[in-house]
Structure 1
Amino acid sequence: MKKITRLLFLAGAFMFTAFTMAQTTVTGTIMDAEMAAPLPGANIIEKGTTNGVSSDFNGYFTLITDSTEGEVEISYVGFGKVLVKFSGNTDLGNITLTSDNSLEEVVIIGSGIIDLAEDRKTPVAVSTITANQIREKAGSSDLPEVLKSTPSVQSVQAGAFGDGQMFLRGFDQTNTAFLLNGQPINGMEDGKMYWSNWAGVLDVANAVQVQRGLGASKLAISSVGGTVNIVTKTIDRKEGGFVQQMVGNDNYIKSTAYYSTGVNEKGWSLGVLFGHWQGDGYVDYTQGQGQTYYISVGYQPNDNHALNFMLTGAPQWHAVAGGNKISTYLDPEKNDGRGRRYNGWSFTGVESPNTLHGGVYPGGRNIYHKPVANLSWDWTINEKSELSTVLYGSMGRGSFAQSIGSVDYARGSNNNHDWYGLVTNYNNQLTENLNFNVGADVRLYHGFHFRDIREFITVDSVSASSGYSGGETYYLTEAGGINPWNVFFNPNTDHSQRFGYDYEEQINYAGIFTQLEYSKDQLSAFFQGALSNQSHVRTEFLNTSTPGQGEEGGKINNVGFNLKVGAAYEITDMHKVFVNAGYYSRQPFHDTMYKDDRGSNELLDPEVENEEITGFEAGYQFGGEKIQANLNLYHTTWGNRTLIGSNGEEGDDFLSYQTFGVKQVHMGVELEVFTQPLNNVRVNGFLSLGDWQFKDNATQRTFDNDGAEVGEGIEVEIDGFNVGGAAQVNAGINASWEFLPRVSVDGAWNWYNDMYSTGSLTQATIGLPSYDMVDAGFSYKMLVGKDDRNSLQFRVNVNNVFDEVYLESVNGNTAASSNPEENYKGVNTSNNGRFGYGRTWNTSIRFNF
């Protein structure tokens, strides 16, 4: 027995010795190429395995492997991956990482919630804007301006700070899903996006990914044009920050400071950003100012759990630019010689304590403060499964303050809300070839809308009458002001100080989603499905049978779903093809469901039905060493739409319109090319060819100020009309050249063609003249401090270098006149329009530490 025990012990010792002798040790130090500094927390993984470690606070790592030779894959947040070979025990020395041009490894917290195209092997039509590109190109612009050099995207600046609009494949922002770290941020009531509410998002963005068409998102969001994923900072692995000062045209000033502690030895981290901006605006009397704040607290107790709390907001106010007839912009006598800078919505000769320009009170002013908070938790359950959850909330407070009468007072149209939600996703690698995930999306939304007084200008009170007083006259004597901080902390909660309209709505949403993805050898395929229920109820406070008490209106539940399938085949390492298809049954927006969205609790009869969206797309990807290209074809049918509108009048003259059964078909082809002919030269380009038209006819109904239908529904002949608002054909070329170390110039040319007006559906849209623009930039980075670990960055942007004069948008259907003097480049000047900005500029200096 002793001999057997001794033999077993010796055999075990021999096997253990052989095992340990077969192990290989790989060491090295990870460095930041630009900063010449170590990178703590970099990921080092043996290629083809799950064996990995992280670099320590000095960038050093030790990896133990059973293999005698192989490769290690090294990655870090915001840097490109590096593959390094090893053979036997190897010291790899210093391994430098440089800033990357992809989204790989950007997301640390909430990675299972944020649906990025890189996370799925079956491709979609996608473009990614990196942190470095955002930092250089954003300047004083909104996000749509940063995205305009991607296929099928057009930015419309709309005349004032934060009022920009983005079109994607011909669909406006209400039909493009915007996500912030996995959180839906389109308006729950109407799908709208107001960039003034998100003025600081580019200051904290790590990357922005535009997924055109069906996209990769698993959420039950049923986007039509596509999905825009905005990925912000969460946890920074290393300590550091920046201070930046920017100035620009028309007295624009922006100051920003950011600091991150990095992750300490106990797993805690803190990041804080604060900024302030102000300016006069390119268009006359569109001054504005605001702040940006961002706080992120992270905690990683161990390798299996990571938590992060984020709070961000952008309180601001800005005056707006009113549109006008094209003829007004062209006639110096009508526009005071201001041309395209003319603000058709301004009043003169009235003093106000809040007027920045003496003697001029703006016709309209936007005031808003919308803090957003979320708590993210990533849990790595085991090697094959993980759970990601984001709990979020936002509270929006603010209004549109419009000058009334002979500038007697500023009337506030308030759009406030409380919004809470939860997104969770469980992912499991079922087998080597099969991945499964399932999740839930819950949103609870309470909106409250009313009119009140923002400022008294030439009067001390305003009289009104409503159901509050049984129809008797009452007086409004309190003003809410235009300071967004004060508006948020001291909102108007007194119903007796409201007039015009006063109602609330509760919108609750619950959805589940799932995805199954198969991948083996050159073939990959996926299936996605989502099912959701959305409930609506509206409560009226103004026009009620019992003065001062709310009356709840009709309730409705709408069930929606979507299905997406796709497959891809990798012909070789350089060639890949894919096809995707999807069908959405999307719930109608809240604002389209009532006879009058401002004054009636009554649902339309018959009730508004779900919209029906069918999408098909196919693509080819080429990946060479010096050139990469993406070719995409798409066909989207968007049917059973309901559109709303009004005649813009007030009181008894007010009429609202609902147009039912509207159908659009958008089809096109997109080509995107990336080249690097030299190590220090990049040249990229794109071409989008679209054909977007209304199909079949629709039915229009008219309702008066009390929500009663006027007459009978009429057939609206829209078949064959072109869809307006954005260029159906656009192209662009952009290039950058680093002609000296850390010194570069860049430029971009964008061209827009086949543009059409927007306006009444009862008349055909009219064609608009094409236009093109050139933007340019210059960058210089100076390494400073001990061991060149810090840097100073200088940046200059000039937009519309050649001061191109162009019609950016037209709202009207009046055909060209037979008298050439009444036309502008073929467009009748009696139509309302807006000219785009002329030459603008900004310059900044940034200290990174």
Structure 2
Amino acid sequence: MKRVFLCLAAGMLAITGTTAETTDSIKQLDLDDVVVLASYAGENTPVTHQNLNKAEIRSLNVLSSLPQVLWMTPSLVHTSENGTATGNTALMIRGTDASRINFSLNGIPMNNPESQEVYWVNIPNLTGSLQTVQIQRGVGVSANGTGAFGASVNLLSERPSTQDYVESSTTAGSYGTFEQSISLASSALPGGLRMQLRYTALNSEGYLRNGWSRHQSLYGSLGKSWAKAQLSLNYIFGNQHTGITWEGASKEQIALDPSYNPAGAIREGLYYGNESDNYRQHHIQLFYSRQLTESLLLNTGLNYTDGYGYYEQYKQSRKFSSLGLNNQLIDGVEYDRSDHIRGKFMANGFYTGLFNLNYQQGGLKLQGGGMYSYYEGVHYARILWLERNNTIPDNFEWARNFGEKTDGNLFVKAEYAIRNKLFLYADLQYRNVAYELEGIDDDDLLDLTQSHQWHFWNPKMGINWRIGKDQKIYLSAGIANREPTRADLKDAVKGGSRQVLPERLYDVELGYSINKSNWMFALNLYDMEYHNQLIPTGKLNEVGYKLMSNVPDSYRRGIEISAGIKAFDKLQLDANLSLSSNKIKDFSLYYDTYDNASDWNEILDEN
């Protein structure tokens, strides 16, 4: 039975450095160390992946931002809005943003079901509570949640320690950046329970004007193990208050002041003091794993995520009609517009249940399972203050809309080893997604009511050849499908009859790696062919979301090279290089043009 677990949970063949261990695929059942996840690739699974263990994560974890921790991943680019990596941070892999990357925590989807984004600012210091991270580039293996259109990132949280300890960590930096983290663990609670707790507070003023951050987080884990089973309960809390920095600035403004930020501008040199983004989130996860027979393992999990947040903004000279209001008559003067402070709010709940069965007999590994999730969310907008007001009540709500989404999938995977040299892999997933919108849009006061359902089949297959103990070559092919986001569907309503289609990706990967005791080298070629890919049109809406449009055919093709050498115990050098070609094969985009931006008149043909 020692052979089943680590291979199914997390193969530890790394391609980022030579110190990463190539772990045996045979391991005694010890769920204190390993939770078997269906979305993890094994050591011999023919997909492009790499792993970071706890020690590697901590060595890279300066200010607890996951995009920074993963910065040495091939084809990855990370960004920070405020210049200190303490506020809004983001990452892209192979040119695709977070809404097209599948993120999971202990097998639970992390992507918001509506935006399909992951906002790391909402879960401060999550990296401080991670046991392992696996990054799969390309389609990867079947995963829960949104489709992987550039990569998938699987996070495994820290298990309760077998040792008792108290630990304190302090980080200080420029621009008023200060982080304090306190951890404790107990392995001898009554009833054989073990506990782990971590609290973190992070404050920063940021480099950009208004780039301040006030963050808190709490991670707790309680677990109990038996001879052939384990029960664990995780709680994750995040609370963030962050100055808005997403509006951008022109070249001319940056040349005059590199820290310039237009957010909250009232007039030249005067800014609103609480131009901010605020969010609070609770995650509760319950997992039960049991060894049913010598060859069969069952894993189950439940999750509830509760979220509430808002952003607050000062807006200059906006028309009352844009807020669904009548003009205001004050002292005999009629005003059609006013400065105001608005708040846009959201509250949501996300419920998830999953299971998987893992079977191994000889060279055959079978895995099957599924997930079902239900999401409900409400968005509403209120006026918090008006400069010119006569009849409008306090905290007037001008728009409210609701979203409801269900996501279910079933999958089966098989891996067969021939003389422990040649590994054949097949993977098939069926996914059913239903999404309903109802209510009034808070930007244009349009009726958003609509209903959608999508059925996706996501097959994958591959072959891995172990040339020797430390070398392998693999070839894989897969298909992934992805539904449009809430923003895509909203913008389609504004475009009249324009229809937004789901996307499809055909991915082929060819890779080679060699891992010696003091050096490594990895080479990967990929061809990602897209059908109906949603691409940015170049326009943004007023909160910075990219306006998207389908293109019939496009591709991303590239080569990724990783190398590392361990000169001696205290020095290791790692490097990677990515070269890619990303093109739209043929596409026409049409815009209406007018002779006058404020008074549209027909342009007469003088001929």
Q: Same fold (TM over 0.5)?
A: yes
Residue in 2 that maps onto 1:534: 433
Distance in structure 1 (CA, Å) of the matches to 2:279 and 2:60: 25
Q: Relative to 1, partners in 2 of residues 1:637 and 1:702: Cα closer, same or farther, differing over 3 Å?
A: farther
Distance in structure 1 (CA, Å) of the matches to 2:127 and 2:23: 16
Deviations 1:781-829 (A, max 9, x none): xxxxxxxxxxxxxxxxxxxxxxxxxxxxxxxxxxxxxxxxxxxxxxxxx
**Bigger shift: residues 121-130 or 665-674:** 121-130
**Bigger shift: residues 249-258 or 407-416:** 407-416
Distance in structure 2 (CA, Å) of the matches to 1:325 and 1:508: 41
Question: Among the aligned pairs, what percent are the same residue?
Answer: 20
Residue in 2 that maps onto 1:498: 397
| Contact 2:87 2:213 (C-alpha < 8 Å) held by counterparts | no
Residue in 2 that maps onto 1:688: 578
| Contact 1:120 1:216 (C-alpha < 8 Å) held by counterparts | no
Partner amino acid for 1:502? R
| Contact 1:159 1:320 (C-alpha < 8 Å) held by counterparts | no
Distance in structure 2 (CA, Å) of the matches to 1:264 and 1:590: 45
TM-score scaled by length of structure 1: 0.60
**Is 2:569 the counterpart of 1:679?**
yes
Residue in 1 that maps onto 2:533: 641
| Contact 1:659 1:700 (C-alpha < 8 Å) held by counterparts | no
1:370-449 matches, within 5 Å, as 370-405=281-316, 409-429=340-360, 431-449=361-379
**Is 2:511 the counterpart of 1:619?**
yes
Deviations 1:762-786 (A, max 9, x none): xxxxxxxxxxxxxxxxxxxxxxxxx
**Match for 1:226 among 134, 151, 154?**
151
Q: Relative to 1, partners in 2 of residues 1:233 and 1:574: Cα closer, same or farther, differing over 3 Å?
A: closer
Partner amino acid for 1:569? W
Partner amino acid for 2:300? T
Q: Give the drift of 1:475.
A: 2.5
Q: Relative to 1, partners in 2 of residues 1:51 and 1:662: Cα closer, same or farther, differing over 3 Å?
A: closer
Q: Relative to 1, partners in 2 of residues 1:223 and 1:123: Cα closer, same or farther, differing over 3 Å?
A: same
Q: Relative to 1, partners in 2 of residues 1:200 and 1:396: Cα closer, same or farther, differing over 3 Å?
A: same
| Contact 2:264 2:313 (C-alpha < 8 Å) held by counterparts | no
**Is 2:514 the counterpart of 1:591?**
no
Distance in structure 2 (CA, Å) of the matches to 1:114 and 1:237: 25
**Is 2:117 the counterpart of 1:200?**
no
Q: Relative to 1, partners in 2 of residues 1:664 and 1:476: Cα closer, same or farther, differing over 3 Å?
A: farther
Q: Give the drift of 1:325.
A: 0.9
SS in 2 for 1:196: helix
Deviations 1:563-585 (A, max 9, x none): 11010111222321100000123
Q: Relative to 1, partners in 2 of residues 1:178 and 1:435: Cα closer, same or farther, differing over 3 Å?
A: same
**Match for 1:578 among 464, 474, 497?**
474
Deviations 1:43-64 (A, max 9, x none): xxxxxx7499xxxxxxxxxxxx
| Contact 1:660 1:700 (C-alpha < 8 Å) held by counterparts | no
| Contact 1:387 1:426 (C-alpha < 8 Å) held by counterparts | yes
Q: Give the drift of 1:542.
A: 7.7
Distance in structure 2 (CA, Å) of the matches to 1:197 and 1:299: 29
Distance in structure 2 (CA, Å) of the matches to 1:165 and 1:110: 28
Distance in structure 2 (CA, Å) of the matches to 1:171 and 1:260: 38
**Match for 1:158 among 81, 84, 89?**
81
| Contact 2:354 2:372 (C-alpha < 8 Å) held by counterparts | yes
Deviations 1:268-292 (A, max 9, x none): 1111111211110111221120211
Distance in structure 1 (CA, Å) of the matches to 2:202 and 2:22: 30
Partner amino acid for 1:343? N
Q: Relative to 1, partners in 2 of residues 1:242 and 1:101: Cα closer, same or farther, differing over 3 Å?
A: farther
Q: Relative to 1, partners in 2 of residues 1:411 and 1:109: Cα closer, same or farther, differing over 3 Å?
A: farther
Distance in structure 2 (CA, Å) of the matches to 1:139 and 1:649: 34
Alignment root-mean-square deviation, CA: 3.6
Distance in structure 2 (CA, Å) of the matches to 1:696 and 1:100: 44
TM-score scaled by length of structure 2: 0.82
| Contact 2:131 2:159 (C-alpha < 8 Å) held by counterparts | no
Residue in 1 that maps onto 2:324: none
SS in 1 for 2:55: helix
**Match for 2:180 among 244, 255, 258?**
255
Q: Give the drift of 1:595.
A: 5.7
Distance in structure 1 (CA, Å) of the matches to 2:591 and 2:114: 21
1:133-532 matches, within 5 Å, as 133-140=56-63, 142-159=65-82, 161-219=86-144, 221-262=146-187, 266-300=191-225, 302-321=226-245, 322-331=247-256, 335=257, 340-347=258-265, 360-362=271-273, 364-405=275-316, 409-429=340-360, 431-453=361-383, 456=385, 475-478=392-395, 497-499=396-398, 501-521=399-419, 522-532=421-431
Q: Relative to 1, partners in 2 of residues 1:657 and 1:260: Cα closer, same or farther, differing over 3 Å?
A: closer
Partner amino acid for 1:528? D
**Bigger shift: residues 219-228 or 380-389:** 219-228
Number of matched pairs? 554
Residue in 1 that maps onto 2:461: 565
Partner amino acid for 2:432? N
| Contact 1:345 1:363 (C-alpha < 8 Å) held by counterparts | no
Residue in 2 that maps onto 1:28: none
Q: Give the drift of 1:554.
A: 3.4
Distance in structure 1 (CA, Å) of the matches to 2:310 and 2:132: 30
Partner amino acid for 1:124? V
Distance in structure 2 (CA, Å) of the matches to 1:382 and 1:502: 52
| Contact 2:492 2:499 (C-alpha < 8 Å) held by counterparts | no
| Contact 2:492 2:500 (C-alpha < 8 Å) held by counterparts | no
Q: Give the drift of 1:701.
A: 7.3
Q: Give the drift of 1:692.
A: 1.2
Larger Rg, first or second structure (1 or 2): 1
Residue in 2 that maps onto 1:486: none
Distance in structure 2 (CA, Å) of the matches to 1:564 and 1:361: 52
| Contact 2:109 2:144 (C-alpha < 8 Å) held by counterparts | no
Partner amino acid for 2:511? G
Q: Relative to 1, partners in 2 of residues 1:642 and 1:217: Cα closer, same or farther, differing over 3 Å?
A: closer
Residue in 2 that maps onto 1:20: none
Partner amino acid for 1:523? L
Distance in structure 2 (CA, Å) of the matches to 1:590 and 1:417: 14
SS in 2 for 1:378: strand
Deviations 1:434-459 (A, max 9, x none): 11111111110112111114x54x85
| Contact 1:595 1:604 (C-alpha < 8 Å) held by counterparts | no
Deviations 1:541-598 (A, max 9, x none): 589xxxxxx999332211112111010111222321100000123333343335656x
| Contact 2:488 2:547 (C-alpha < 8 Å) held by counterparts | no
Partner amino acid for 1:134? I
Distance in structure 2 (CA, Å) of the matches to 1:662 and 1:326: 34
1:51-130 matches, within 5 Å, as 108=32, 111-113=35-37, 115-117=39-41, 119-130=42-53
SS in 2 for 1:475: coil
Distance in structure 1 (CA, Å) of the matches to 2:302 and 2:590: 41
Partner amino acid for 2:573? V
| Contact 2:46 2:425 (C-alpha < 8 Å) held by counterparts | no
Alignment gaps of 5+ in structure 2? 14-18, 318-337, 594-599, 601-607
Q: Relative to 1, partners in 2 of residues 1:362 and 1:192: Cα closer, same or farther, differing over 3 Å?
A: farther
SS in 2 for 1:283: coil
Distance in structure 1 (CA, Å) of the matches to 2:60 and 2:200: 18
| Contact 2:102 2:145 (C-alpha < 8 Å) held by counterparts | no
Deviations 1:511-532 (A, max 9, x none): 1111011012211011011101
